[in-house]
Amino acid sequence: MRTMAGTRFVILTHCVASLFLLTVANGAIIRLNCDTVDDKCLLKNVFASEDDRFKEIRNERYQSIIEFFDCHIHTLPPIPYINKVKANAINLVRVEENTFSTIHRLDVSYNRLREISTKAFEYPEELLELNLNGNPTLKDFAFLSKLTGLRSLDMADMKLELELLDINTFAGMAELSTLNMSDNRITSIPVGMFAPLVGLTDLDLSRNSITKIASGTFAIATTHSYLRDGIYHQALNFDLSSNNVSIIENNAFLHASKVNLRNNKLIGIGQYAFDNQTALEHLDLSGNDQLKNFDFLHNLRALHYLDMSHMNFSFDGVPRNIFDDLDSLTTLDLSNNRILEIPIGIFAELQSLNFINLRHNSISHIEFGTFSMRKYDLIDEIDLSYNNIKELNFLVFVPLKYLKTLLLHGNKISYVNAKQLTRNKSLYNFGIQNSNVRCYDLIDLLGSLKLVLEPNEFISHLPNVDGIRCQP
């Protein structure tokens, strides 16, 4: 380095970015010349204080991407006509006026942002993706209302409270399809805030502190829904897992295809919480061990997947028609509950059911007709692993003409009647690991069935048949 007539030249060898510094007043004017690496401009080891300023980056040498790497800068330089800027984790504090001309994708995640100017973008409607993730010091979001062309917005891990946002923040974002607000401090959702997001497909509010879903909270009249068989179908997914939601009021959801409510504190869901024309296909209620009223299930005609695991659930006191209106249900997960017995006919109306998971309960007996269906018998897999079954008449499964997989791992069964079991001609997979079954019985099954193992539990150091421990 050498100084001459007030001008200081810095030559950084072995760096991708070349810097020219001209001292002015209390700071310096920094010129950035970037080298092309994998069709992008890579700026590396750039350090600039609050007082330093940049000259506009010239784009003759790169095509569409600028990436800052291992830098420490207070604000971004002026950036003209670019597809994407990746400026994450560079200790950025401010995005000033006239920083961008035309830009489509901007990543400023995990910085120390305090301000983004409402005039930072010359053509704000051109921005399609914005990642603000990990900027807990950013509290002024007035700039968002100008970004009417956004398709994806990530605001996760920002210590965000929705009270900080004007209720009309999203009013012009009809094209926004993905909004991530997970891992924040959201306790309530203003009714109507998300209503303008008619193009939304994914809303992630997981790992917040939301306590209630009020009527109209997710009344989003999506433009991509269509009517079929009297039901509106659309791809609109809500992730509300790991909150403190206790109540969901009637008409909370207008359209939804998937709702994840795992690990909340639900005690009540309104009978009409999901609009009766909503084509909800996937519902996860697992981990809500205080929920006892399931009347809302009767309105979910299009539901394909229902997870009621880890809910302290049993059939005691539950109406026998609990599942009667779930005509489209293909998967029912009741694992890790407190089910002692299964009422005959409880599944009789589930005409589309393919898989039922009952593992890790306390079931001791399976009666004839337990899995009988009134109209169609489509069950192809039953998992009764890790219950308290000691004896089992395998003829109870013979009427299930499409049953392919029967899992009984971890029970106390000591005898398997091969003749009974193999009378079901559709059965192909049989699981009986971690039980007291005789090796002789397993040998009898080898010619007819495939013995399936629990993952990573192949037994080789004890008496076994095909890796399944057995009694000689």
Sign of CA dihedral 179, 184, 188, 193: negative
Instruction: Give CA–CA dist 356/176, Å, rounded.
Output: 37
The secondary structure of 81-113 as a DSSP string is SEEEEE--SS---EE-TT-BSSEEEEE--SS--
pLDDT digits (tens, 9 = 90+) for 259-273: 999 999 999 999 999
Q: How many CA atoms lie within 13 A of 160 on its CB side?
A: 25
What integer best gives the mean pLDDT of the chain?
88
Token digits of residue 102: 């035309």
Q: How far is CA 56 from the centre of its chain?
A: 40
Token digits of residue 52: 């330093």
Instruction: Give CA–CA dist 445/451, Å, rounded.
Output: 8
Instruction: Give CA–CA dist 288/107, Å, rounded.
Output: 36
**Alpha helices for 2-44 (secondary structure H):** none
Instruction: Give CA–CA dist 23/9, Å, rounded.
Output: 10
State the amino acid at position 116 in one-letter form.
I
Q: What is the DSSP letter of 438?
A: B
Kind of pairing between the strands at 65-69 and 53-54: unpaired
Token digits of residue 468: 């399944």
Token digits of residue 8: 């200081």
Instruction: Give CA–CA dist 73/96, Å, rounded.
Output: 13
Token digits of residue 406: 């029967």
Instruction: Give CA–CA dist 193/335, Å, rounded.
Output: 37
For 162, phi then psi, to 5°, come to -65, -15
Token digits of residue 451: 């013995």
Least confident of 154-158, 298-302, 386-390, 404-408: 298-302
pLDDT digits (tens, 9 = 90+) for 417-456: 999 999 999 999 999 999 999 999 999 998 899 999 998 8
pLDDT digits (tens, 9 = 90+) for 9-54: 332 323 334 444 444 445 678 777 777 777 788 888 888 887 777 7
Beta strands in 350-420 (DSSP E): 355-357, 381-383, 405-407
Contact between 128 and 152 (Cβ < 8 Å) = yes
The secondary element (H helix, E strand) that includes residue 439 is helix 439-445
The residue among 254 and 7 whose pLDDT is bigger is 254
The residue among 276 and 335 whose pLDDT is bigger is 335
The secondary element (H helix, E strand) that includes residue 306 is strand 305-307
Residue 62 has pLDDT above 60, yes or no: no
Average pLDDT over residues 209-214: 97
Average pLDDT over residues 388-407: 94
Instruction: Give CA–CA dist 187/244, Å, rounded.
Output: 9
Q: Which of 227, 173, 232 is nearest to 203 (CA)?
A: 173
Instruction: Give CA–CA dist 394/403, Å, rounded.
Output: 13
Instruction: Give CA–CA dist 368/430, Å, rounded.
Output: 19
Count of helix runs (H) and strand runs (E) in the chain: 2, 35
Instruction: Give CA–CA dist 249/261, Å, rounded.
Output: 14
pLDDT digits (tens, 9 = 90+) for 113-149: 999 999 999 999 999 999 999 999 999 999 999 999 9
Tell me the β-bridge partners of 180: 154, 204
Q: What is the DSSP letter of 146?
A: G
The secondary element (H helix, E strand) that includes residue 419 is helix 418-421
- List the end-to-end C-alpha distance of the chain, in Å, as a whole number: 83
Token digits of residue 153: 């917005």
